[in-house]
Every structure is written in C-alpha cells, then in structure tokens.
Amino acid sequence: MKRILILHASLGAGHLNAAKALADAFQQFPDVEVQIADTLAYANSLYRGAITQAYKQLSEKIPLLYKAFYEGSDISDLDKSLDSNLVWAKLERPFFKELGQLVRAFDPDVIVCVQQIPSRLLQLLEQEDQTSKPQYVVVTDVIAHSTWINYGVAGYFLPNSLSRNLLIQRGLNPDVLHVTGIPVKLEIMQPKTREETRSHLNLPQDRPVISLFGGGLNPRRVRSMVLDLLESPISMVLVVAAGRNEKLEEALEDLTAGTHVRLWKVGTIDYVDDLVVASDLIITKAGGLITSEILARGTPMIIVDPIPGQEEQNADVIAAAGAGVQLRLLEMVGPAVQYLLRHPERLAEMRQAGLELGHPRAALTIAEHILQDLESSGVRSSHPSSSATFVQ
C-alpha cells in the first residue's frame, strides 16, 4: 500500500479542486491510499486569519497593490529565489507546529503540493517528521512564479511548455520539469455531446447558450454585463452561475428575461462540466482551474476582470493561443458575444485552439508519473492494505 499526502492551502477554491482531481486519479490505481490536507488547518489561528484576509483584501479590494507585490516577489535568479522562499518558510514555520504531526501520523510515501505554502514549509520539517519523503509540486498557475521553486523537490508538473522554458531559463534542471497541464476532474475525460448535456439540463437545442460564471466577480459588474446581454437582438439563453456569491444572487434577483434572451440564474451547482459542454461561449474570470476545465472541453471563452498577477498571465496565455478573448471594458462584453455568435467560424477556431491547449487527463498523467517514480526507486511501503480515502 502506497500512501500519498496531497497538501493545498485554502486561498481560493482552485487549489482544493486540483487536490481533489489528483486524489481521484491516484485512487484509480490499486494499493494506493490518499489523504488531502489544507495546510492552513494546521496553522496557528493568528497566521491563518492574517494570510486569508491579506489575500482576500489585496486581490479583491486593492488589486494594483496585489499586482505590485506579485510581480515584485517574482525573482528571476534561481539561487536568490530559493533562498528567499527558505527565508519565508523560516518566518512561517513557528505558526505551523502541527504540520509535522500530520506528516508523522499519516506517514506518506510521497507528498504532493498544489500550492506554494506547504511546499516551502516542507523544507524545514524536522527529520523525524519528513523522513526524507519525496516531494512533488503541481503548479496550478499558467506561469510558474518563483515562489513555487523550493529545495528538495523531486519533480514539478507544469501547465505548459512556456512555463517549462521559463524555468529552464532560470536555471532549473530540465529533467525535473514535466509538462502535464493543470489537474482537472476526471469527469472531463468522458465524452459528452452538446445535445446530451442540453437535454439533461433542460436547455433548448435550437438557440445559443451563453454561460457566465460570476461567483468570483464583483456583483455590480456582473449585473452590468447581464443587463447589456439581456438587450441582445440575438435569440439566446443566458445562464448566470453565482456559485457561493450570495451578494451576486441578490444583485440579480430582480432581473428577468429580455425580449430575445432567456435568463437562467443558478447558485452553487454540481454540473459545471455539463454546463461547459452545453455552452457555445463562456464568460469567466481567469482562475487557473476553471479555465483549465473549460480548455479541456474546448469551449470558447470571454475573460473579464482577471486578478492582477497570475490571472492576468492566465488570460494572456489563453488569448494568445486563440482559445479566448480578454476584455477590459465590460461594455464590450455584449458586442463581443454578438460578434462571435454571428461568426461561427471564429467560434470553431477558438474551440480547436482550446482543445489543443487543454489537458483533460492531466491528473492521471501526474499520478502515473509519481507512482512510476516510486516503483523505479524501489519503494516498498510497509503500510497495510486499505482502500480508504481521507479528505480533510
């Protein structure tokens, strides 16, 4: 029985979704036990509250300051970036005294990190905690920031060749850099047709479906976009998914269908992939996980309001590949939707570009690689057999 510990940090939902996708992938193999853990759950409450609020306030309320910090902390010199991350880890380590207990209790054969905080902390775990377990890093941003790079990492799994080339230029060993894509849920590997998913969701077959994923967007700005789209002269269905954003649901409460546009408002849904397949076009922010899921299905995107820093980079890569367009003026969303619907050949090109950029089996590819490394290294775990999956 091989034990896999997957560590994330609950700063946004994307890292947890990547961890869950990896856990599902590992569970496809025999004699593998997986535990997912939120590193921040093992942190001092003072640190946990401070880092969570800092991330939320900077990214949402002061995005330009967040961008300045993000870009200013991206160190191009390899040795300096490694030392900088080690300094950060030393500052954080006193707040994470329980993390070593987690590692000791589960006694993993390998540790996989899908966020920067746990990766850098692993450098400082006491020897009895770490017991020289190999660590792998799964980068969940389209471009790998220098904070992802740490001592003692056996392999990095990267979203694209661009990220790999940039890390090679910074001095990393090419042998530890693997282009796999960002891990998305295994469901996305299953063939689905637009007709089937629309039938399942009770969406019409005879008109375009536009989906707006607004959970991470400003409610006022989403309302503005929806109002413009409701004025469209083209017959369509507009699906607005608010997720857990209760303020957005309130902001849209009084809106109803337009003359040519049917409006369907939903909250938290468990059929995101079906909706992606059913849609002709998706309006979204540029989170690494949601855009990776959309790319894996090839659905064209209009990207709005990316968080300065990593999401701007995500948007740039998608737009440059031709899989989506990035709009700064919300007033242009309505005209862009109308233009694309009137030019189906452009949508077809975007769809093909998305499929070429997407990696639907990324999670399985990563799991296969890590398990093969364990086999080739001669690891023979003494853990008793169990099929349980522990999620925390």
315: domain range?
Answer: 190-357
> Do 272 and 367 have their domain in common?
no
- Cα(52)–Cα(70) distance, integer angstroms: 16
pTM over 0.75: yes
* Burial degree of 187 (CB within 10 A; 0-12, 13-18, 19+): middle
> Do 154 and 205 have their domain in common?
no
Question: What is residue 304's predicted lDDT score, i.e. its pLDDT?
Answer: 95
**What kind and span of H or E run contains 102?**
helix 99-106
> Do 180 and 201 have their domain in common?
no
Supply 86's token pair: 């080690």
Q: Minimal CA–CA distance to 151: which of 182, 130, 178, 165?
A: 130
- Compute the average pLDDT of residues 328-337: 94
- Cα(138)–Cα(15) distance, integer angstroms: 10
Residue in the block written with tokens 């894996």? 296
Q: With 80 as the cut, is the pLDDT of residue 157 above it?
A: yes
Question: What is residue 50's predicted lDDT score, i.e. its pLDDT?
Answer: 83
* Burial degree of 126 (CB within 10 A; 0-12, 13-18, 19+): exposed
Task: Give the rounded percent of residues in the chain with a pLDDT score beyond 90.
Answer: 70
Q: With 90 as the cut, is the pLDDT of residue 49 above it?
A: no
Sheet of 110-113: strand order equals 177-179, 153-158, 135-138, 110-113, 2-8, 32-38, 389-391
> Do 258 and 208 have their domain in common?
yes
Q: Minimal CA–CA distance to 292: which of 244, 360, 369, 193?
A: 360
> Do 176 and 203 have their domain in common?
no
> Do 241 and 163 have their domain in common?
no
Residue in the block written with tokens 């997957």? 6
Model confidence at 14, pLDDT cuts 50, 70, 90, reads confident
> Do 316 and 271 have their domain in common?
yes
**Domain at 127, CATH number:** 3.40.50.2000
- Cα(391)–Cα(181) distance, integer angstroms: 23
> Do 31 and 143 have their domain in common?
yes
Question: What is residue 299's predicted lDDT score, i.e. its pLDDT?
Answer: 98
* Cα dihedral: 283, 258, 341, 187 (round 10): 40
* Residue type present at position 372: Q
Supply 154's token pair: 């056996």
- Cα(22)–Cα(14) distance, integer angstroms: 12
> Do 245 and 367 have their domain in common?
no
Model confidence at 71, pLDDT cuts 50, 70, 90, reads confident
Q: With 70 as the cut, is the pLDDT of residue 63 above it?
A: no
- Cα(391)–Cα(21) distance, integer angstroms: 12
Residues 204 and 237 sit within 8 Å (Cβ to Cβ): yes
**What kind and span of H or E run contains 265?**
strand 261-266
Question: What is residue 386's predicted lDDT score, i.e. its pLDDT?
Answer: 42
Question: What is residue 385's predicted lDDT score, i.e. its pLDDT?
Answer: 43
Residues 218 and 245 sit within 8 Å (Cβ to Cβ): no
Q: Write the pLDDT tens digit of every residue in 219-263.
A: 999 999 999 999 999 999 999 999 989 999 999 999 999 999 999
Model confidence at 378, pLDDT cuts 50, 70, 90, reads low
Residues 321 and 302 sit within 8 Å (Cβ to Cβ): no
Provide the 3-class DSSP secondary structure of residue 74: coil
> Do 119 and 234 have their domain in common?
no
Phi, psi angle pair for 195, to nearest 5°: -65, -45
> Do 368 and 349 have their domain in common?
no
Residue in the block written with tokens 């309505």? 334
Instruction: Count the domains in the chain.
Output: 2
Mean pLDDT over each residue of the chain, to the nearest integer: 90
Residue in the block written with tokens 């990776």? 292
* β-bridge pairing 281-284 and 209-213: parallel
Model confidence at 176, pLDDT cuts 50, 70, 90, reads very high
> Do 38 and 102 have their domain in common?
yes
